[in-house]
Amino acid sequence: MSGHTWTTGPASALAGEIVVPGDKSISHRAIMLAALADGTSQVEGFLEGEDTRATARIFADLGVRIETPNASRRVVHGVGLDGLREAARPLDCGNSGTGMRLLCGVLAGQAFASTLVGDESLSRRPMGRVTEPLAAMGARIDTRDGGLPPLRITGGSRLRGIAYATPVASAQVKSAVLLAGLYAEGETEVREAHPTRDYTERMLAAFGWPIAFEPGRARLAGGHRLRATDVVVPADFSSAAFFLVAASIVPGSRVLLRAVGLNPRRTGLLQALRLMGADIREHAAREQGGETVADLEVRHARLRGIDVPLDLVPDMIDEFPALFAAAAVADGTTRVRGAAELRVKESDRIAVMAEGLRRLGITIDETPDGATIAGGRLDGGEVDSAGDHRIAMSFAVAGAVARAPVRIDDCANVATSFPGFPALARGIGLALAET
Ligand code: S3P
């Protein structure tokens, strides 16, 4: 595959203060709910990444006026629940599973037809997990064989509420069903065996939609309206994660990450790293836009391998590439189980991380739902990120403690979630060159 190549070399102590960009999950949802609301909403701290910009572009194609007065701000002129209009072309979600799955829920409730398409990676990702419950609500959605994109949503269906127990822990599935529920007759309920991030529920409440929710359960009924609301997007914990690992593993480091979102359904990595012996302190915890944020101070610490507790898995599902990097240089063995979902992310994250770490001299055994990683010393070498943003950034961090330079291929997709990563990384002392 094509794309940028990065080279990272051994780094000396990392130091400095960083503000990472806005939360991806919240940025997608802010555009969606603001577009469907009555009135004008301001979104501050919007993630200027390819994934979230794709979502904003799609709503523009659906007739919503969205202004960008300056970077990381959007002014969304909502059209109301029934104000979207048919797009003249297929709606391109790019690399974004969140965009496609949540939009599928929104578009299932429209009077018109839509087609959702994505890039090569997204076109391989399972959509049956959303099209099946939406079909049970009365939607008509065609997929390619195996439930793969493109998704052709017929529209014009009368939706009815369902009670749905999600078979996989997935905030995207839960959100797609709840968003379709806005357009459904009667009550829609989603139950989850493992609670997942609750941003859709919180934001629906903030936009004035009556919703009852608690961990593992959310319930709403159709027939209400969304009221324009300003949204302040906190810094993305998943972007902070790379620096939490980097400063933990590079001797002598001290890095401060400002105002990071600490929603408990996102911070499993913080707990896992602490179990490994990491020195991460939270300062000045405060509320920002309905979410808790805090400054995270990370100092180098000697890490040891752990068995990652099963109940942490959904709360750190996006952080496993970073965790694998930490485990590769920890003392002893780290075991990951219960994480089969990693195989259907932007890449097969178990296989791609295992392949790359092996190339750098680490012993790692894959299982269908995880891996056993024997911590050791990383050699230099060449690894492939498989076009997966989080894999590229994880190897960029691991390379800081390798014996020799690590070359990482196919890094262009880092722009989907964290376009400024290389510059911020260099700013605290990572030796990262881009070609
Ligand atoms: C997300 C949910 C998670 C996560 C993704 C963002 C969301 O996906 O991996 O990066 O914003 O709802 P799943 O719902 O597939 O677990």
pLDDT category of residue 200 using cuts at 50, 70 and 90: very high
Ligand 1 midpoint to CA 229 (Å): 23
pLDDT, residue 290, reads 86
- Confirm or reject CATH 3.65.10.10 for domain 24-232, answering yes or no: yes
318, 388, 409, 410: the active-site residue: 318
Kindly report the average pLDDT of the chain as a whole number.
Answer: 97
- Is the pLDDT at 1 greater than 50? The verdict is no
Segment 250-265 shows an average pLDDT of 98
Ligand 1 midpoint to CA 89 (Å): 26
Domain spans, the chain: 6-21+234-434, 24-232
Ligand 1 midpoint to CA 196 (Å): 9
Query: What pLDDT, in 10s, does the model give residues 40-94?
Result: 999 999 999 999 999 999 999 999 999 999 999 999 999 999 999 999 999 999 9
Relative to beta strand 114-117, strand 148-153 is: antiparallel
pLDDT, residue 3, reads 58
Q: Is 170 annotated as a binding residue?
A: yes
Nearest Cα neighbor of 235 from 196, 283, 291 is: 291
| 170 CB within 6 A, ligand 1 | yes
Q: What is the DSSP string of 47-95?
A: --SHHHHHHHHHHHHTT-EEE-SSTTEEEEEEE-TT-----SS-EE-TT
Query: What pLDDT, in 10s, does the model give residues 348-373?
Result: 999 999 999 999 999 999 999 999 99
Residue nearest to atom 9 of ligand 1 (CA): 318
Q: Is 125 annotated as a binding residue?
A: yes
- Quote the tokens at residue 111: 């009077």
The two domains 6-21+234-434 and 24-232 share their CATH topology (first three levels equal)? yes
Please give the CATH number for the structural domain made up of 6-21+234-434.
Answer: 3.65.10.10
Q: Is 254 annotated as a binding residue?
A: no
Name the burial class of residue 435, with classes exposed (0-12), middle (13-18) and buried (19+) by CB atoms within 10 angstroms of its CB. exposed
| 172 CB within 6 A, ligand 1 | yes
Nearest Cα neighbor of 172 from 111, 124, 131, 141 is: 131
38 is annotated as an active-site residue? no
DSSP SS3 for 164:
strand
Query: What pLDDT, in 10s, does the model give residues 393-429?
Result: 999 999 999 999 999 999 999 999 999 999 999 999 9
Tell me the pTM: 0.98
pLDDT category of residue 321 using cuts at 50, 70 and 90: very high
Diameter of the chain by CA atoms?
Answer: 61
CA atoms within 13 A on the CB side of 79: 15
